[in-house]
Amino acid sequence: MGVTSGSDGSGGADTRTDTRADTGGDAGGARGADAGRPLPVEAAEIAAGYDFTGPALELGALLWGGECLADAQIRVPLPMLNRHGLVAGATGTGKTKTLQLIAEQLAAQGVPVFLADIKGDVSGISAPGEAGDKVAERVADVGQEWEPTGFPSEFYALGGIGTGIPVRATITSFGPVLLSKVLQLNQTQEQSLGLIFHYADQKGLELVDLKDLRAVVTFLTSDEGKPELKGIGGLSTVTAGVILRALTAFEAQGMGDFFGEPEFDTSEFLRLAPDGRGLVSVLELADVQDKPQLFSTFLMWLLADLYNDLPEVGDVEKPKLVFFFDEAHLLFNGASKAFLQAITQTVRLIRSKGVGVFFVTQTPKDVPADVLGQLGNRIQHALRAFTPDDQKALRATVRTFPDSAYDLEEVLTGIGTGEAVMTVLGDKGAPTPVAATRLRAPESLMGPVESGALERAVRASVLYPRYAEAVDRESAYEKLSAREAERPAASEAPPSRGRGGGGGSVVEQVVGSGMFKSLLRSMGTQIGREISRSVFGTARRRR
């Protein structure tokens, strides 16, 4: 499998010379400067901004005056990786290979990494790269010591759809806010779904999969369950019907497998390999890329779950995890104000738990301003300006950068594949000078590994036996079905001492029964009487 130099990689060095700094020189395209040659004054000032002490990621070499200056290395301090970041650029400009390059260096320095593989071409990070003319040219340009290296990796798949260890979540843990986005409910319906979750939490009706949620909603719209609606805030039966139809349509699209047990423990992403390198967790999404609402929201659940479970650590010498959120615009499309506020809060606070988040998208305008303001490290690949909207987006992108020695509009439309404009947070926390950069070549395989090798790697994982087989234990569906079967017998029982001294509803009888109380006691601290929920409505409980 050869290294390609096409639209997706740093392996292809672009040789155009039409990008100029405002000093009159080309910003990219020519061969690297001779080692030891004095740097131009402006270039020296930029390079000085990246001369950090302590551990750092080596990203590439400075582009200035038509040359790639191998003596001017562009770097980012390792402790600043939990200050979040943005990797942006048009399709085919090399974003994926930039992620691969960063992930490699993080793993090499003992930092676990999470990557979402939308197109199915990131699996090559687990295998050594292949030498070739393009790689040799890139290595010479940037002054890189290149050695083919594979990195320890685990491969996951949502619900087991695709090749990977299945990643599932229970409906209870996923929560009403994220589920509402997946089901594309409006604000009123989202609030009603929240009431249904609240009711199930109170009554100990754990929602493991879609049939559990459907059973609770169906019960609440039945003759026996309608009185319960008043007790949880006046849920409209019409709205409940809308939710039921949305659930049915959702399941009909084959999406039911994403919810269930065993639920994935996101602390698995924090592991190190036996040799001390960070594990690269690759979530394979190629088989579900036609379900963007689902996988983008699921990525947010993974991040929110990490946020809920991890302790505060403050500033750390290196991150506990760096999480790359690919196709980030899908998360924000159609998001409610409350949803955006929850994202902003999670991103702002998860830094203190040692987790860095990088959003990956085409332009900064895809990310809301409140979130963009939290992203301290910026890597901007080329943008295209073919239409008035493109030109507007270009100007907006330029305004997000500090003042620079470059004509950024010209630079951003002229740099080639595997080149980018960047500014990062220095070791003192201040932004570095803007630097046009030719990025290093990844040392792992720039492309997917052979499918058979991927399958063998998945089955050899110590996690595979833990998560491979779905488990359908007793939960809300089974409990409500059993109580419905017992209802005729229950109706002949002596009146309970519930509200008004009457027999009460079926659910009241269930909750008041000795069997149900015994069940609650047996669950103890695992579920309790009511689940505490986070800002996203996800369950806040240790597994």
Instruction: Write the pLDDT tens digit of every residue in 128-153.
Output: 999 999 999 999 999 999 999 999 99
What pLDDT score does 485 carry? 78
Asked whether residue 15 is domain-assigned, the answer is: no
3-state secondary structure of 541: coil
Asked whether residue 367 is domain-assigned, the answer is: yes
Mean pLDDT of 178-199: 90
3-state secondary structure of 495: coil
Mean pLDDT of 6-10: 38
120 and 251 in a common domain: no
236 and 155 in a common domain: no
Asked whether residue 9 is domain-assigned, the answer is: no
* Domain end among 430, 464, 498: 464
According to DSSP, the β-strands at 355-361 and 153-158 are unpaired
Nearest to 335 by CA among 182, 535, 197, 116: 182
379 and 245 in a common domain: no
Least confident segment among 97-106, 270-279, 301-310: 301-310
Q: Note the Cα 370 to chain centre separation in Å.
A: 18
Phi/psi region, residue 184 (left: phi>0; alpha: psi -120 to 50; beta: rest), is: left
Least confident segment among 74-88, 323-337, 417-431, 524-538: 524-538
Percent share of the chain, pLDDT over 70: 83
389 and 318 in a common domain: yes
Which residue is associated with the tokens 């750390």?
316
520 and 439 in a common domain: no
- Per the structure, the complete domain to which residue 511 belongs is given by 171-259+474-526
Confidence of residue 529 (pLDDT cuts 50, 70, 90): very low
Q: Note the Cα 362 to chain centre separation in Å.
A: 16
Mean pLDDT of 92-99: 93
Asked whether residue 2 is domain-assigned, the answer is: no
389 and 298 in a common domain: yes
pLDDT surpassing 50 at residue 18: no
What pLDDT score does 44 carry? 95
177 and 320 in a common domain: no
Q: Say which CATH number the domain at 399 has.
A: 3.40.50.300
What pLDDT score does 154 carry? 97
295 and 416 in a common domain: yes
pLDDT surpassing 90 at residue 330: no
393 and 343 in a common domain: yes
Mean pLDDT of 173-195: 91
Q: Which two tokens stand for residue 385?
A: 């300006």
> ∠ at Cα 347 (343, 353), nearest 5°?
135
294 and 362 in a common domain: yes
pLDDT surpassing 50 at residue 4: no
Structural domain tally of the chain?
A: 2
Q: Which two tokens stand for residue 449?
A: 């590994």
pLDDT surpassing 80 at residue 487: no
What pLDDT score does 466 carry? 96
Helix axes 237-252, 187-203, angle to 10 degrees: 90
Asked whether residue 487 is domain-assigned, the answer is: yes
User: What DSSP string runs through 186-226?
Assistant: -HHHHHHHHHHHHHHHHHT----SHHHHHHHHHHHTSTTTH
306 and 240 in a common domain: no
What pLDDT score does 516 carry? 41
Asked whether residue 543 is domain-assigned, the answer is: no
Asked whether 343 and 331 are in contact (CB, 8 A), the reply is yes
* Domain end among 464, 489, 510: 464
What pLDDT score does 407 carry? 94
pLDDT surpassing 70 at residue 469: yes
420 and 362 in a common domain: yes
pLDDT surpassing 50 at residue 7: no
Asked whether residue 374 is domain-assigned, the answer is: yes
* Domain end among 432, 464, 496: 464
pLDDT surpassing 70 at residue 540: no
Asked whether residue 236 is domain-assigned, the answer is: yes
Mean pLDDT of 359-373: 91
The pLDDT tens digits for 248-304 are: 988 888 888 899 999 999 999 999 999 999 999 999 998 888 888 888 889 999 999
